[in-house]
Amino acid sequence: MTLPKQETDAPRVLRALEDGRSSVRLRAAMVAGTTPDPRFVDRLVERCAIEPDFQVREMLTWALTRHASSTTVPALVREVRSERAQARSQALHTLSKIGDRQAWPAITRALLSDPDDEVARSAWRAAVVLVPEGEEPALAAVLATQLGRGERETRLSLSRALIALGEAIVPILRAAMTVLDPDVRRHAIATERLLRDPDAGFEFATEEAKRVVALGRAGREE
């Protein structure tokens, strides 16, 4: 199915979102964002949950940001409770782009510690965008429970989320530096290094953290 350049007929756009060709789905999502229509919202959200192409998913998110948040946010909040990991992740990603703090109650502790790394990372990014003023320390405390989790990309995502909360994270990081788990200590140290020196780079901060933890362990063994 091709989508004529001037075609904005809602049924045709909705059918194109299901086309087997990613190029057609991409254009359909673009049209849906260029000519917002409340009839598009539920289908856009549903498509986010199953769309295999990254570029199309990003266009679906953009299309949703072009619609009224009063329509999109309730649909996305429902979606973060989906059993499908991609549905949760993409809904959280879209909520972070919309930035409507009415969605804050949907960012639960369960999502912030979701066993799927992509969902958790999306939840961390959404949380630091949506957190109400004054609740940053409480959010930082929850995020700190994920220190030491996963591989490089996951740890970097968490560090960036924590750093976005500013000085509220300092006492929480200092506490994390004293726990027994060396992965947690290294991640906390690296995050504080990045907070103090954003230009240092995550790899450098991580290597420095490894050295600090190793020296600390050696000192206790003497």
pLDDT in tens, 55-114: 999 999 999 999 999 999 999 999 999 999 999 999 999 999 999 999 999 999 999 999
Entry pTM? 0.86
For CA atoms 24, 95, 191, 146, the dihedral sign is negative
The pLDDT value recorded for residue 196 is 85
pLDDT, position 94 = 98
Distances 177 to 105, 180, 205, 206, 207 between C-alpha atoms, Å: 30, 9, 14, 13, 15
Q: Which amino acid is at 144?
A: A
- Residue 222: the pLDDT is 41
* pLDDT recorded at residue 200: 65
* pLDDT-flagged residues of the chain (< 50): 1-7, 218-222
